[in-house]
A and B are shown apart, each in its own frame.
Chain A
Amino acid sequence: MKSPTPTPTTTPSTPAAAAGDERRGSIELRRVRKTYGNLAAVDDLDLTVRPGEFVTLLGPSGSGKTTTMMMVAGFEELTSGTVLIDGKPVDRLPPKDRNLGVVFQSYALFPHMSAAQNVEFPLRMRGVRAGERRKRAEEALARVGLAGLGDRRPRQMSGGQQQRVALARALVFNPAALLLDEPMAALDKRLREQMQDEVKTLQRALGISVLFVTHDQDEAMSMSDRIVVMRDGRIVQEGAPEDVYAHPRTDWVANFLGDTNLLPCKVLERKDGVAVVDLGSWGVGRVRDLGARGDTYAVSIRPEHLRFVDAERTENRATGRVLSSTSLGATIRHRLRVGEKDIVMRELSAGTRAGRGPDDEVSVGWTQDEAQLLVLEP
């Protein structure tokens, strides 16, 4: 939070221990299925959000991420499976009794209430007395940097302010966990980045678990402790953001999370997490191998993991021609042709060697750990 915030009362890393229950704040989905007719919107999903963890469901629209969140919140019934909150099954609990703070895409602030009344609403529903209600709402608004703005109606507030109100409203009743459904989608880029930082800081300070839904990979990368990539109602990969980014298991994940160069290959040998692959005109190389099995394979190398190398290098190197170079400010993007394949590489402007022009012959190389063997999906 950029604005001064009061120190939270809970110790950041161990809120659960303080509550005396190690599953307090956890969300668990066990073999959750949701079908509409013959169509499975969510298929056999297993997922755990540990206490204090920030987990992001990342996927394109229609991947089942929002449906999953709606089932956790209690707005959608499960076709089969179980949802546990704080370690207890909640399938029979209506949304109002699940004790989850939900922030919706367009904030869903009540337009006929002031910001303070919006924040007081969950307390009113819990029978908190008026005086106490007012005090806690004021504190919650102050925590999100809106002290003194409680009398405003939502329509008199900016998008960022509305989002803070929504956040205050979702947090004021000390929910077990926070569910965020694309809460930044309506904000412009600069404000979105600022809010991402603030939400992340607030989440750390409160030590609250968060289940976050987004289709924006940058948002997922910058905020999450763990990313769960979904596609067609299934989890295709999960892990720490940098891990998923650097080591996609399939070409779909590689493409969905950022740009990549996919080089079809034949696997010659796999051993101890390293594969020796035949890359055709790129020669033979060594790449990282996570053990994924399939019919056809490719090597994924992120544009920023390619770099210009000396022509003398013998391994993990290919020679090609520069097609174009475009300065993007902090970075330069080169398009190269290597063999019959067009690839993209990105390097920092600061480290650029001058005098590389179109049609220059260059050698590019990569390290074994930054090139990933993955399965090409049919």
Chain B
Amino acid sequence: MKRASPRHPSALIASVPVFLFLVVPTAIVVPVAFNRSRYITFPPDQLSTEAISGFFGDPAWMSALLASLQASGIAVVVAVLLGGSAAVALHGRTFPGRAVVTGVIIAPMIVPAVVMALAFYQFFISVGMVGTVLPIGLAHAVISVPYAFLTVRAGLAGLNPALVRSASSLGAGAFSVMRFVYLPVIRPGLVAGALFAFSVSIDETVIALFLQSPSATTLPVKMFTDIQYNLTPKIAVSSAMLVTVATLGLLVQVCFTIRRRSIARLLPLTAAADQTG
């Protein structure tokens, strides 16, 4: 039933500045990248693509971009494989210690980033893994696994475990069960999990800062270091790039939301996202 509900025009008007507050900082980043002068201003005085070509011609920034992509590559692959298979393994199963197992899988998401960073820092030094992107990628994988686990688990929520059992009782082998029963169901969850893992890794700064070395400095770490000295156009270009990635992530999420016709179902997941401020 449709009903006449007060539309609170006053609240809507009051919320306009708040929406501006939310959106403007993200929105100015892209135009700022086209700044001509050496110092950053908004709105830009003159537009040019100088900074952009400067960014892509700068070996330091390029190696940072490469390091970031490598680290998130590792994180995405590991998180999706491990998180996805864990979700399938636990689907519809009860056993003593199940809560503990789930707790361990999800915990890295809750521990503050700086604590994880310190723990990884000491650990990787002690095992002699320093100076490469690998430890950063693995560390990002640790904090990304929960996202893949939760997205896949959310996808499995609608799948009746009895169906899986009946498939195997009909003679389907483990491989066939995986291929024909699970995979179609978990595919959207895997995609979402990969997206989350990528987003977490590409933006993660604190852990990458602790694990950095001259040969393994990620994009956010490079930005963090530079930003403390000056607001340079190259930081702006890097930011603009990350905003573009973020917008793509957002679009995918909106599409998912519309397809499922439910905003609420994405809420718990969203509310648990990365906490590296």
- CB neighbours of A36 from chain B (8 A): 2
Chain B residue nearest to A36 (CB atoms) is B2
Binary interface profile of A, 71-85, with partner B (CB < 8 Å = 1, else 0)?
Answer: 000011100000000
State in angstroms the CA–CA spacing of A70 and B4 once bound together: 9
B3 an interface residue at 8 Å Cβ cutoff? Answer: yes
- Are B2 and A75 in contact (CB-based, < 8 A)? no
- Are A77 and B1 in contact (CB-based, < 8 A)? no
A331 an interface residue at 8 Å Cβ cutoff? Answer: no
- CB neighbours of B1 from chain A (8 A): 66-67, 70
Chain B residue nearest to A70 (CB atoms) is B3
Binary interface profile of A, 52-69, with partner B (CB < 8 Å = 1, else 0)?
Answer: 000000000000001100
Interface residues of B in 1-42 (CB under 8 A from A): 1-4
Number of CB contacts from chain A to chain B under 8 A: 11
Binary interface profile of B, 178-207, with partner A (CB < 8 Å = 1, else 0)?
Answer: 000000000000000000000000000000
- The A contact surface, by secondary structure, is mixed
- CB neighbours of A76 from chain B (8 A): 2-4
State in angstroms the CA–CA spacing of A156 and B4 once bound together: 32
Q: Distance in Å from the Cβ of A364 to the closest Cβ of chain B?
A: 45
Chain B residue nearest to A67 (CB atoms) is B1
- CB neighbours of B4 from chain A (8 A): 75-77
Interface residues of B in 31-82 (CB under 8 A from A): none
State in angstroms the CA–CA spacing of A66 and B3 once bound together: 11
* Chain A interface residue number, banded: under 10
State in angstroms the CA–CA spacing of A67 and B3 once bound together: 9
Q: Distance in Å from the Cβ of B196 to the closest Cβ of chain A?
A: 35
- CB neighbours of A70 from chain B (8 A): 1, 3
State in angstroms the CA–CA spacing of A350 and B41 once bound together: 97
Q: Distance in Å from the Cβ of A258 to the closest Cβ of chain B?
A: 27
State in angstroms the CA–CA spacing of A67 and B1 once bound together: 8
Chain A residue nearest to B5 (CB atoms) is A75
State in angstroms the CA–CA spacing of A278 and B4 once bound together: 52
State in angstroms the CA–CA spacing of A180 and B92 once bound together: 45
Q: Distance in Å from the Cβ of A151 to the closest Cβ of chain B?
A: 32
Q: Distance in Å from the Cβ of A239 to the closest Cβ of chain B?
A: 27
State in angstroms the CA–CA spacing of A328 and B2 once bound together: 42
- CB neighbours of B3 from chain A (8 A): 70, 75-76
Binary interface profile of B, 62-106, with partner A (CB < 8 Å = 1, else 0)?
Answer: 000000000000000000000000000000000000000000000
State in angstroms the CA–CA spacing of A36 and B1 once bound together: 12
- CB neighbours of A77 from chain B (8 A): 4
Chain B residue nearest to A77 (CB atoms) is B4
Q: Distance in Å from the Cβ of A77 to the closest Cβ of chain B?
A: 5
- CB neighbours of B2 from chain A (8 A): 36, 76
Q: Distance in Å from the Cβ of B44 to the closest Cβ of chain A?
A: 46
State in angstroms the CA–CA spacing of A76 and B1 once bound together: 10
State in angstroms the CA–CA spacing of A70 and B2 once bound together: 10
State in angstroms the CA–CA spacing of A359 and B3 once bound together: 56
Binary interface profile of B, 137-164, with partner A (CB < 8 Å = 1, else 0)?
Answer: 0000000000000000000000000000
State in angstroms the CA–CA spacing of A36 and B4 once bound together: 12
- CB neighbours of A67 from chain B (8 A): 1
Chain B residue nearest to A95 (CB atoms) is B4
- CB neighbours of A75 from chain B (8 A): 3-4
Interface residues of A in 67-113 (CB under 8 A from B): 67, 70, 75-77
State in angstroms the CA–CA spacing of A77 and B4 once bound together: 7
State in angstroms the CA–CA spacing of A67 and B2 once bound together: 9
- CB neighbours of A66 from chain B (8 A): 1
State in angstroms the CA–CA spacing of A77 and B1 once bound together: 14
State in angstroms the CA–CA spacing of A70 and B5 once bound together: 12
Q: Distance in Å from the Cβ of A360 to the closest Cβ of chain B?
A: 52
State in angstroms the CA–CA spacing of A70 and B1 once bound together: 10
State in angstroms the CA–CA spacing of A238 and B186 once bound together: 56
Chain A residue nearest to B6 (CB atoms) is A94
State in angstroms the CA–CA spacing of A312 and B210 once bound together: 108
State in angstroms the CA–CA spacing of A66 and B2 once bound together: 10
Residues of A within 8 A of B (CB): 36, 66-67, 70, 75-77
The 6 A-B pairs with the shortest beta carbon distances in the complex, nearest first, are A75-B3, A76-B4, A77-B4, A75-B4, A66-B1, A76-B3
CB pairs A–B below 8 angstroms (11 shown): A36-B2, A66-B1, A67-B1, A70-B1, A70-B3, A75-B3, A75-B4, A76-B2, A76-B3, A76-B4, A77-B4
Q: Other CB < 8 Å A-B pairs besides A70-B3, A76-B2, A76-B4, 8 of them?
A: A36-B2, A66-B1, A67-B1, A70-B1, A75-B3, A75-B4, A76-B3, A77-B4
